[in-house]
Structure 1
Amino acid sequence: MPDSAHAAVGAPAAPAADRPVAPLDTLSAADLDRAGGKGANLGELVRAGYRVPGGFVVTTDAYTAVVDRGGLAQRIDERLAAADGSADDAARAAAAIRSEFAAAEIPEEVRAAIVAAYAELGAEAVAVRSSATAEDLPGAAFAGQQDTYLNVVGQDALLDAVRHCWGSLWTDRAISYRRRRGIDSGAVRIAVVVQAMVPAESAGVLLCANPVTGARDELVVDASSGLGEAVVSGLVTPDHYVLDRRGRIREWTPGQREVVVRGTAGGGIAHDSTGEETAGEQLPAGVLTELARLGTAVSEHFGRPQDMEWALADGTVWLLQARPMTALPPAPVRLNRIQRRVGPVILEMFPYRPYPLDMSAWVLPGPGRLVSRMMAEIPGLRVDLRDVAPEVDGVVDRFVPPNPRPTPAVLTAPARILGRIRRYDPERWTQDPRFTTFQRRIAELNATEWRSVPWDELRRVPRRALDALDLVTDLRVDYLPRSGMSLLRLRLALRFLGRGDLFSSLIMGATTRTVDNNRALEALARHVRDDDRLRAAFAELDGDALVERVHASPEFADFRAALDAFRAEFGHRETASALLLSAPTMGEAPATILGMVRTLVTRPAEPTADQSPDLAGDALRRLLAHPRAQRPRRRARLPRMVRAARSGVGFREDSHFELTRPLPPLRNAVLEMGRRLASAGVLGDQWAVLHLRREELEDLPDPDTLPEADAARLRATADARSAKRAELAGVPLISPAVRFHDSGPDTDALATGTAAGGGRATGPVRVIREPAEFGNLRTGDILVCPNTNPSWTPLFQSAAAVVVDTGGLGSHAAIVAREYGIPAIMGSATGTATLTDGRLVTVDGDRGRVTAAEPDGTADRPEPRGDGS
């Protein structure tokens, strides 16, 4: 319950919108536009009765009054336009805007209101904190992006701090952060929170869920001596507590007290490095219990776990700030044996969070329907991918490993399976009329000129593509039972003969489309090996540059023809996952194909078919030479069993190969719909169509005739899902605490620290000790540094992971890393000393460990760019 002594329920309504100052107890969460995120949340806490230092907010109306004077708004717009160039241009423009605010004249009515509110507060020393309207939001914490000034004394110092808080809206890091989040800088305003200083003996951060595991029944406290600035800014390795909801300690790691931040008598703060004598002391049990109580209650009040700052003075806990936790993983789930076995296989097929169109136009009605039908019609089990990838507000928010459930159909499964075994022989599956119909329908779709298709026909294409896929689903359901039976019979026969070791070699003789694909790639690699000019191009270039050279050079005509033939035959195959419509196919991504060819070129050439050893034939000869295989009937039956097993393997592989044939026409059709919707002004760009659902597109009339009200609703729907997806950008699909396989303890860690989340990434170490070295970081490097502050934020866009000597879960580096979705380890203590530039390492942000990596290690595959994310 709130502290009733400080309750403000029934406080007067917020003052008129044109007043420059508002007391905290007049504000609430509804006042975001006037008080900014920090001010609105603090007002909500005060009105709910929580112990918050007294204070007031210099509202956004005051900021607007300053900006509207003397043409400052126009000059800001001009500077922002200049910031669209290089990073140096952006930095110069941002510095110029801040200089304007530092010298800005505060209108008399604003100045008088601030001074009067300061006098009425009655506190000589105050904390002055920026509170932007795009701040402390569910999907964007803006941690450390605007300025805070502590222990400000006197009205002149207060007015100067307010000016600098206004200016901090325009740092290059804040501008860059807003751009990455898709927030219009021109629409953002800033308020300033002024509160009485709390003379903290200890302070820190309270996270109301475990940010690494996602556990909602745990709270995390990072604490240190003095003001909380030392913890928030990562200047110290804090005491680290994991508590249950009653405040009992589940984990505790003592901090280092590298520095203590305290207020000075005349104003300002000092960094004292003599706090070692308090290192190792735990917070009193009563304080931990109170923090757990407050964190639980405040989270329930706001409806989601909170990231809070607190201070302890004279035995009293004060709340200094509360904002929604960002990038919080799903809560851990308990897995049974089936989920542990199947879960990793399916999770691997979601290399990034699927879009609404992925789920509605492909996953659920396509592969998901196939899996559900196969499980329902063969063994009689229920599996629904809607349970595996549940959606919240139209966006997949987590992954739940499938847990098949028996249905009444399980009782009749043997009869169904036996009937299919008798009727459907995999050796003849391509002669089935359904397969012929499937090929014809896909050929018709692929021959379509999408730009010229009328809208009414275009919006029906997804259904046509899925209807074609249903034919392959029918074939899989009918022919798989005999495929499985043939493989099982061969395995049992080999076990009877004591030659189970021959099973893999015997079925290796199966001819599949996957084998054909690999042979075609090797043929492309031979082209390169046999041509000095091609080999030089592959050695010199990669990616799009290599594609451009191959397509622009007349001497590469033969190779281009071979490449085009490969794309025509195998281009429907996926680049990222067979479950993702949003990812380009291989036919759309020649750079991907050339990358595979480059890998083959650097390896020894594969033998041609006539040079390869006949392992399958040799295995069959050894099998037939077995003493128990000499009976005539058995000797005649064994080759038939081998052939049937190979046919089963071939069907399983080749029917999977056919499953993705509808992807290119389906993808082309929905992207053409996106293009037309963007052209008509319904969507912001072509890729925004990925945030819509198939049924919404199928029900949509021609965009050129769509009423504006309907267009606005559709656009708002896409924007809302895009925002929700952006909120989840750094959130894993499953809690890192979920372990599919037990693993033993690691003994080879190069560095350890507090696990701040983000999964795993591999890359070369780059030690950056100061801003002057920022230019040394390259995309994909592991950023290793002594500490960070908000000016380091741009580096997180390039780094594959971050390892920091100091800091905890609530520090700037940890929050930003989680939002960017990169692994982070805080408080490593020796990271900059033990990790050397260029060394290839793997950072496990979920376990807090840095280990040596193999030379071929790679970071997790990123999501494709330019797709409306």
Structure 2
Amino acid sequence: MKEQLVAPLRAFGRNDLALAGGKGANLGELITNGFPVPDGFLITTRAYTAIVGSAGLGARITALLTDCGDDGAAIRAAFASAGIPGELRADITRAYAELGGGPVAVRSSATAEDLPGAAFAGQQDTYLNVIGEDALLDAVRHCWGSLWTDRAIAYRRRRGVDSGEVRIAVVVQSMVQAETAGVMFTANPVTGDRGETVIDASSGLGEAVVSGLVTPDHYVLDAQGRVRERSPGRREVVIRGAEGGGVTHEPGGDAEARPLPGEVLEELARLGASAARHFGRPQDIEWAYADGHVRLLQARPMTALPPPPVRLNRLQRRLGSILTEYVPWRPYPIDMTTWLPHGPAGLMGKVVGSIGIRNVFQDFLTEEDGVVVRLVPPAPHPTLRTFAAPFRIASRARRHDPARWTEDPRFAAFLENTRKLAARDLRTMPWKRLIAVPRESLALVEPVADLRIDYLPRTGLSLLRLLIVVKALGRGPLFGDLVLGARTRTEDANRALETLAERVRETPALRDAFAKLEPDRLADLTARDPEFGAFRGAFEEFLAEYGHRETASPILVSPPTLGEAPETVLGLVKLLAGRPPSPAGADRADQALKRLLAHPLLRTAAMRSRVRRWVEAARAGVAFREDSHFYFTQPLPVLRRSLLEIGRRLRDAGVLATPEDVFHLRLEELEGIADLPGLAEPHAETLRAAVRTRSARREELAGVRLIDPHAIFPPGPDDGDALVAGTPGGGGTASGRVKVIRDPAEFGKLSDGDVLVCPYTNPSWTPLFQRAAAVVVDSGGIASHAAIVAREYGLPAVMGAATATTVLQDGQMVTVDGGTGRVTSADAGGS
């Protein structure tokens, strides 16, 4: 049967995608396994191929694809008027007669639709209530042509699907004149809860629900089919089959708003659960109810489904506030196999592991088919070694002073080895040498764990000692300002940026250019324009010293570094050049120290000297924590350059479309390439297929969060009239206009006095705090980078606001209360 151009639906199954298309293969699978699906037949993709040949459409299709245009009108018109060869016409009309010759639904079934990661919903056409042979043949022609609608061509291009490889089959089924119809999801598409079934229903044919013409009845059912939630719809329109063929749109209204009977809902839930089990993943199902029976009209995998909801304990939520700040976007396979396990996150896992605590920074990301699908903060647990940790910590604290950590021979060896590897010319390396560089870059970081293990104990004890002292003296609020006096490499970078901004302010030509031009244009002028020569030299010195720092995340290799994104740095310079510098946090630190030393109990010079030493020791610990991260990211650019050079060579060999496609591959997959050129074509196609599949899956999940932010930052009971609320991060209250900054490329959007609203921050964001009136961050907690810097600049800050970047809009006037963690609406005249 499968060798024919036309065959019964029951002759096909899930493995017949190439012949039946996605919809036809799934429907045949359902019929074969006893699901209530209307009977029908399928016109296979072979028929489509035959028509393309007989109508001479191959050249037109090739021309369309070659020109990269989206206009398929001429191809659709050619299909609409194409003559169907006699044998194929006879097969179609015979199958139609055997089906009863009555009303049918004619549905397109392309080979690139109804697949995991690419539903192609609504991209091809469906014709309902088709009556008669001539109408059927006309509908089939139009289904073939709908493969070339502008929307379908554009959708395939966005999904990376080769239009030249796509074929289309046509499903013909007995028409169900539904009393009620709609769509069922076998998992909650909003929350990701796999134990719930969500149903939308309305009177008449389901097309009204699918096309969005009505507000449907909305049901949320539990696993047993019991109603948890019901929202009545409005049934603005009712679509019904017309007597002579086609459909009619009739006025609806509340008069027909009768809920589905409980037994129908239970049957739908049962069928949906069975289909999900059969296909092995949640399903998006179209259904119809008529004459007391439920029928399934279509089933496809649910796309863009959030991860299942999780319940987190307090410690997991605390860890989650850190991890979501470190993972601002979905990691790539190359992240998961390089910098993420071996860089700062893996390093800190080793540090806490040294005191016997396991499962802190490991295994918090879940992958499916090479794509990260969810983040679940781990639940750390102590081991027997934890009981001996106080003794090990005390021993290390005695032997290793953070104030002298840069004198450690291990640090000097790290810098020297990093310098040597960074100096190698990757472009001239033979393949076998190049493919070893990523592992060498990662190996550079391994000794860093030992340095942190040795020097962090005194850091922690020094901070704890100072905290106890200031609280005992009744000066607890001074603690944060006291440790601001630590001189760090991040502070050095910010001062260097301010020096560049001062150069811009003092040079008329630079001042004019930075005031008028966007950062990408400034980057081009800095690199090429002779008038930028002096500034270019200073700028290049900045990048040489600080360009290894991350722009987005310290634990991912896929985002560019500052050195690779000069426009990001120039955006910061543009921002800072707009006005004189703000007072430094060091001034507040000095004032805090004077206030502490003036305490009546610190009467003698010896007591004041001791307290001063304790403050300096705490500051040295803060500097070590910050500066060790600064230096230990130095191998990151080397790792990135090696991976992109590997990607460039794979592109030149025809394996990848762009060098950046290498991020879709795992390190072990790259290391499995013995030599290049010379890669066997089957191996090359395996790599290309992995990139295509993972890229499509990432595209599907582009709008899906790795975890529901409210699982980490649950809404409080007293949020009241707050637009958003979170954890207090910096005291005080300020009002201003919202400016949502989602990534470093948008730094230049911020103006003086704006309320900075962002998903995360890291040290490269620090200069923005000099211009903001307040800060609101989706992620992070009181000890996060954003909270620390906000307190340094005396800004009200709200951390863990979860949905601030989606709820708050640019230009909206808000008031930020850093003491309560609430953001409320402000009058347009607020300040």
TM-score range for the pair, normalised by the shorter chain length: 0.7 to 0.9
What's the counterpart of residue 592 of structure 2? 619
Candidates 324, 336, 340, aligned match of 2:313: 336
What's the counterpart of residue 40 of structure 2? 55
AA in 1 matched with 2:178: A
What's the counterpart of residue 107 of structure 1? 85
Q: Distance in 1 between matches of 2:140 and 2:448?
A: 67
> For residues 785-864 of structure 1, what are the structure 2 equivalents within 5 Å?
854-855=811-812
Q: Distance in 2 between matches of 1:293 and 1:165?
A: 32
Q: Distance in 1 between matches of 2:19 and 2:347?
A: 52
**CA distance 1:748–1:556, change in 2 (3 Å):** same
Q: Is residue 131 of structure 1 aligned with residue 120 of structure 2?
A: no
Q: Is residue 588 of structure 1 aligned with residue 564 of structure 2?
A: yes
Q: Is residue 635 of structure 1 aligned with residue 608 of structure 2?
A: yes
Q: Is the 8 A contact 1:213 1:737 kept in 2?
A: no
**CA distance 1:495–1:847, change in 2 (3 Å):** closer
Tell me the SS of whatever aligns to 2:375.
Answer: coil
**CA distance 1:216–1:308, change in 2 (3 Å):** same
Q: Distance in 2 between matches of 1:234 and 1:363?
A: 43
Q: Is residue 295 of structure 1 aligned with residue 272 of structure 2?
A: yes
What's the counterpart of residue 622 of structure 2? 649
Q: Distance in 2 between matches of 1:204 and 1:615?
A: 63
Q: Is the 8 A contact 2:548 2:563 kept in 1?
A: yes
Q: Is the 8 A contact 1:213 1:736 kept in 2?
A: no
Q: Distance in 2 between matches of 1:450 and 1:122?
A: 70
Q: What displacement does 1:123 show? A: 4.5
Q: Is the 8 A contact 1:356 1:691 kept in 2?
A: yes
What's the counterpart of residue 316 of structure 1? 293
Q: Distance in 2 between matches of 1:845 and 1:512?
A: 30
Which deviates more from structure 2 when the two are superposed, residues 693-702 or residues 715-724?
715-724
Tell me the alpha carbon deviations over residues 829-866 of structure 1, each in whole angstroms, 9 at most, x when there is no partner: xxxxxxxxxxxxxxx99999966555599xxxxxxxxx
> For residues 694-713 of structure 1, what are the structure 2 equivalents within 5 Å?
694-713=667-686
Q: Is the 8 A contact 1:139 1:327 kept in 2?
A: yes
Q: Is the 8 A contact 2:119 2:301 kept in 1?
A: yes
Q: Distance in 2 between matches of 1:737 and 1:110?
A: 57
Q: Is residue 185 of structure 1 aligned with residue 163 of structure 2?
A: yes
Q: Is the 8 A contact 2:118 2:696 kept in 1?
A: no
Tell me the SS of whatever aligns to 1:738.
Answer: helix
> For residues 457-476 of structure 1, what are the structure 2 equivalents within 5 Å?
457-476=433-452
Tell me the SS of whatever aligns to 1:29.
Answer: coil
Q: Is residue 250 of structure 1 aligned with residue 235 of structure 2?
A: no
What's the counterpart of residue 66 of structure 2? 81
Tell me the alpha carbon deviations over residues 7-62 of structure 1, each in whole angstroms, 9 at most, x when there is no partner: xxxxxxxx142x22111121211221111111111111111111111111111121
**CA distance 1:384–1:106, change in 2 (3 Å):** farther
> For residues 741-760 of structure 1, what are the structure 2 equivalents within 5 Å?
741-744=714-717
Q: Is residue 232 of structure 1 aligned with residue 210 of structure 2?
A: yes
AA in 2 matched with 1:221: I
AA in 2 matched with 1:293: R
What's the counterpart of residue 15 of structure 2? 30
Q: Structure 2 regions of 5+ residues with no counterpart?
A: 725-737, 741-745, 747-800, 815-831
Q: Distance in 2 between matches of 1:682 and 1:521?
A: 41
What's the counterpart of residue 139 of structure 2? 161
Q: Distance in 2 between matches of 1:39 and 1:613?
A: 69
Q: Distance in 2 between matches of 1:639 and 1:537?
A: 47
Q: Is residue 564 of structure 1 aligned with residue 540 of structure 2?
A: yes
Q: What displacement does 1:613 show? A: 7.4
Candidates 424, 434, 443, aligned match of 2:400: 424
Q: Is the 8 A contact 2:186 2:272 kept in 1?
A: yes
What's the counterpart of residue 425 of structure 2? 449
Candidates 402, 406, 411, aligned match of 2:378: 402
What's the counterpart of residue 323 of structure 2? 346
AA in 2 matched with 1:239: D
**CA distance 1:151–1:853, change in 2 (3 Å):** same
AA in 2 matched with 1:459: I
Q: What displacement does 1:688 show? A: 2.8
What's the counterpart of residue 363 of structure 1? 340
Q: Distance in 2 between matches of 1:850 and 1:649?
A: 35
Q: What displacement does 1:71 show? A: 1.8
What's the counterpart of residue 302 of structure 2? 325
What's the counterpart of residue 249 of structure 2? 271
What's the counterpart of residue 835 of structure 1? none
Q: What displacement does 1:478 show? A: 0.8
> For residues 460-539 of structure 1, what are the structure 2 equivalents within 5 Å?
460-539=436-515
Tell me the SS of whatever aligns to 1:134.
Answer: coil
Q: Distance in 2 between matches of 1:264 and 1:699?
A: 61
Tell me the alpha carbon deviations over residues 512-535 of structure 1, each in whole angstroms, 9 at most, x when there is no partner: 011111111112222222233223
AA in 2 matched with 1:118: Y
Q: Is the 8 A contact 1:472 1:658 kept in 2?
A: no
Candidates 352, 363, 373, aligned match of 1:375: 352
**CA distance 1:417–1:717, change in 2 (3 Å):** same
What's the counterpart of residue 660 of structure 1? 633
Which deviates more from structure 2 when the two are superposed, residues 144-153 or residues 541-550?
541-550
What's the counterpart of residue 760 of structure 2? none
Q: Distance in 1 between matches of 2:5 and 2:163?
A: 22
Q: Distance in 2 between matches of 1:698 and 1:44?
A: 40
Tell me the alpha carbon deviations over residues 275-300 of structure 1, each in whole angstroms, 9 at most, x when there is no partner: 33123x32111111111101101110
Q: Distance in 2 between matches of 1:551 and 1:47?
A: 66
Q: Is the 8 A contact 1:368 1:384 kept in 2?
A: no
Q: Distance in 2 between matches of 1:662 and 1:472?
A: 12
**CA distance 1:749–1:232, change in 2 (3 Å):** farther
Q: Is the 8 A contact 1:214 1:735 kept in 2?
A: no
Q: Distance in 2 between matches of 1:699 and 1:385?
A: 28
Q: What displacement does 1:321 show? A: 0.6
Q: Is the 8 A contact 2:485 2:586 kept in 1?
A: no
Which deviates more from structure 2 when the two are superposed, residues 465-474 or residues 226-235?
465-474
What's the counterpart of residue 676 of structure 1? 649
**CA distance 1:63–1:712, change in 2 (3 Å):** closer
Q: Distance in 1 between matches of 2:722 and 2:596?
A: 45
Q: Distance in 1 between matches of 2:322 and 2:172?
A: 53
**CA distance 1:592–1:415, change in 2 (3 Å):** same
TM-score normalised according to structure 2 size: 0.85
Q: Is the 8 A contact 1:341 1:740 kept in 2?
A: no
**CA distance 1:512–1:472, change in 2 (3 Å):** same
Tell me the SS of whatever aligns to 1:651.
Answer: helix
Tell me the SS of whatever aligns to 1:387.
Answer: coil
Tell me the SS of whatever aligns to 2:711.
Answer: coil
Q: Structure 1 regions of 5+ residues with no counterpart?
A: 1-14, 751-761, 765-778, 780-843, 858-869
What's the counterpart of residue 368 of structure 2? 392
Q: Distance in 2 between matches of 1:557 and 1:75?
A: 53
Q: RMSD in angstroms over aligned alpha carbons?
A: 2.5
Aligned residues: 741
Q: Is the 8 A contact 1:225 1:275 kept in 2?
A: no
Give the number of the structure with larger relative contact order, counting CA–CA contacts within 8 Å between residues 6 or more apart.
1
AA in 2 matched with 1:701: A
TM-score normalised according to structure 1 size: 0.82
Q: Is the 8 A contact 2:359 2:381 kept in 1?
A: yes
**CA distance 1:737–1:269, change in 2 (3 Å):** farther
Which deviates more from structure 2 when the two are superposed, residues 613-622 or residues 98-107?
613-622
Q: Is the 8 A contact 2:2 2:12 kept in 1?
A: no
**CA distance 1:715–1:128, change in 2 (3 Å):** closer
**CA distance 1:701–1:216, change in 2 (3 Å):** same
